């Protein structure tokens, strides 16, 4: 099992933080990512033998559909991603996706086997081929087959094609079909849920484990107190709610909580440690904001044998 790359760039993706997190998580029998996004940490888990219980969740239906569709039909997703970036395709596909946004999660929830490979692929091409966040609401609708603005006076808010770099499914030299097949293989035993984060951190959901060192590890990467709105409108207060949950979590649980600056310093008085973090190569990770990334680790986390050069203990 080697490190895999998510097939889309994602704001706040934690690919570059994965190593430091796994040093402190070890080999848990149960692993949960309640705010998974591009699932960069799961995909960078060190190799293990046998089975573990792993669960990823995201409230965003498009994200959950991407993972469900890749797991169920990697070839179908890859086929719909074929071809180079096309700007008009990006506009048309974003409109197509947004017109189906309402009700999509309900449809996913209506049947454990529901997924839409074409919607997953088109979301991936929009996320990989445009500058901006694919969850932006638009206005992206079509009337009579043409892209129009809502309201009509506001003008169509265009996203720009990402021509400066080849990313995600457009990455240079990427064999999309082989990449999707490898992701499907990795996800074959991963549980994928789509809903509020609370539902995967209940005592019942967190007791499932298998193999490893028998521990349970939880990676909490909620929308931060600053910038929560890029993931939708109901992110306010999530960061504080996640911190509160950490304060009440079982003492033997290995937990990593991501945030900015001193956002979760309240935890330090409870034996937690704090390290400098780093996100992935887009969004937060690309600019000065990445200098502000921090990760707080619960007292039950392992002490790392070596200090990664990217990260230094800020407080112990």
Ligand X SMILES: C[S@@+](CC[C@H](N)C(=O)[O-])C[C@H]1O[C@@H](n2cnc3c(N)ncnc32)[C@H](O)[C@@H]1O
Residues that bind ligand X in the complex, under the rule CB under 6 A: 10, 12-14, 34-38, 40-41, 57-60, 63, 196-197, 221, 223, 231, 235, 238
Closest separation in Å from C-beta 133 to ligand X: 10
Closest separation in Å from C-beta 6 to ligand X: 7
Closest separation in Å from C-beta 232 to ligand X: 6
**Residue (13 or 28) nearer to ligand X, CB:** 13
Backbone angles phi, psi at 203, to 5 degrees: -55, -40
According to DSSP, the residues that pair with 57 across neighbouring strands are 193
Strands of 166-229, DSSP E: 190-193, 216-220
Closest separation in Å from C-beta 17 to ligand X: 8
Closest separation in Å from C-beta 20 to ligand X: 13
**Residue (64 or 92) nearer to ligand X, CB:** 64
Closest separation in Å from C-beta 152 to ligand X: 30
Whether omega before 151 lies within 30 degrees of 0, making that bond cis, reads yes
**Rounded to whole angstroms, what are the CA distances from 175 to 25, 95, 143, 248?**
31, 27, 36, 45
| Other CB atoms within 10 A of residue 225 CB | 18
Classify residue 303 as exposed, middle or buried by CB count within 10 Å of its CB (0-12, 13-18, 19+): exposed
**Residue (211 or 232) nearer to ligand X, CB:** 232
**Residue (9 or 30) nearer to ligand X, CB:** 9
Closest separation in Å from C-beta 23 to ligand X: 17
**Residue (76 or 285) nearer to ligand X, CB:** 285
Tokens of 119: 């919607």
H or E, element range at 147: strand 146-148
**Residue (115 or 197) nearer to ligand X, CB:** 197
* CB neighbour burial string for 144-174, b if at least 16 within 10 angstroms, e if fewer: eeebeeeeeeeebeebebbeeebbbbbbeeb
- Furthest C-alpha separation in the chain: 62
Q: What is the CA radius of gyration of the chain?
A: 19
Closest separation in Å from C-beta 167 to ligand X: 14
Question: Using an 8 Å Cβ cutoff, are 121 and 93 in contact?
Answer: no
**Residue (6 or 92) nearer to ligand X, CB:** 6
**Residue (58 or 116) nearer to ligand X, CB:** 58
Q: Under 8 Å CB-to-CB from 103, ≥6 apart: which residues?
A: none
36: phi > 0 → left, psi -120 to 50 → alpha, else beta; which?
alpha
């Amino acid at each position: 099992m080697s490190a895999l790359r998510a097939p889309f760039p994602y704001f706040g993706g934690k690919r570059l933080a994965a190593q430091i997190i796994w040093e402190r998580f070890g080999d848990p029998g149960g692993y949960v990512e309640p705010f998974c996004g591009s699932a960069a940490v799961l995909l960078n888990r060190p190799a293990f033998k046998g089975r573990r219980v792993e669960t990823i969740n995201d409230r965003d239906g498009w994200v959950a559909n991407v993972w469900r569709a890749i797991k169920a039909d990697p070839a179908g997703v890859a086929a719909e991603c074929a071809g180079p970036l096309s700007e008009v395709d990006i506009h048309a596909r974003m409109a197509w996706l947004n017109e189906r946004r309402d009700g999509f999660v309900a449809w996913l929830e209506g049947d454990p086997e529901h997924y839409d490979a074409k919607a997953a692929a088109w979301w991936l091409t929009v996320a990989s081929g445009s500058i901006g966040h694919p969850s932006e609401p638009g206005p992206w609708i079509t009337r009579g087959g043409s892209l129009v603005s809502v309201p009509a006076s506001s003008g169509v808010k265009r996203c720009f094609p990402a021509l400066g770099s080849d990313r995600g499914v457009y990455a240079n030299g990427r064999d999309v079909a082989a990449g999707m097949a490898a992701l499907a293989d990795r996800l074959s035993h991963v549980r994928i849920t789509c809903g509020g984060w609370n539902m995967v951190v209940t005592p019942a959901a967190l007791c499932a484990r298998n193999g490893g060192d028998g521990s349970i590890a939880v990676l909490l990467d909620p929308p931060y107190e600053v910038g929560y709105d890029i993931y939708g409108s109901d992110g306010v207060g999530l960061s504080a709610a996640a911190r509160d949950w950490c304060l009440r979590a079982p003492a033997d649980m290995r937990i990593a909580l991501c945030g900015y600056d001193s956002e979760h310093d309240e935890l330090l008085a409870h034996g937690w440690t704090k390290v400098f973090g780093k996100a992935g190569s887009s969004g937060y990770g690309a600019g000065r904001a990445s200098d502000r990334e921090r990760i707080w680790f619960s007292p039950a986390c392992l002490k790392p044998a070596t200090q990664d050069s990217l990260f230094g203990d800020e407080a112990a």
